[in-house]
Copies of this chain bind each other. A is one copy, B any other.
Amino acid sequence: MIHQEYIYELPMKVRDYECDFQGIVNNSVYQNYLEHTRHEFIMTRNVNIMELHNRGIDVVVARIDIAYKSPLHGGDEFLSKLYISKEGLRYVFFQDIYRKADNALCIKARVDCVALVNGKLKNCDELDKTFF
């Protein structure tokens, strides 16, 4: 299998309030990181998710699969990277997060999104042009 290359990466830093009683980033917070990364990526294509929403186009997560490899701690800097492929109606975001200090893989995620146009599952040319 040929390894596909990341097309976008976002540098981020853990905020202490994102850590739970175990002193590490709470599992659910990684979904916040992943969503923010997708939205920032989409902004680089001059598309604004909230503005799309106001026009009746929603990019909705249909499935998410996250493998937790190594936890992030308060103050850790990290890189959130992604690449995309299309499978049928699904935009599949492959999103990985690496700790900056040692380049350790923290999570490996696959996020399947679909477009809802006025609430209906549809192919969306505008998104196709945005992502590819």
Contacts and interface: CB of A to CB of B under 8 A. Distances in A.
Interface of A: 15-17, 19-23, 26-29, 31-32, 35-36, 39, 43, 48-50, 53, 58, 60-68, 73-75
Contacts of A26: 17, 35
Contacts of A19: 20-21, 50
Tell which of A16, A53, A63 has the most Cβ of chain B within 10 Å: A16
A61 B24 CA distance: 12
A23 B50 contact: yes
Contacts of A75: 39, 43, 48, 50
Contact of A61 (B29, B35, B49, B68): B68
A53 B22 contact: yes
Contact of A36 (B16, B22, B61, B64): B16
Given A21-B21, A21-B23, A21-B74, A16 B66 contact: no
A123 to B, nearest CB: 19
Nearest to A69: B62
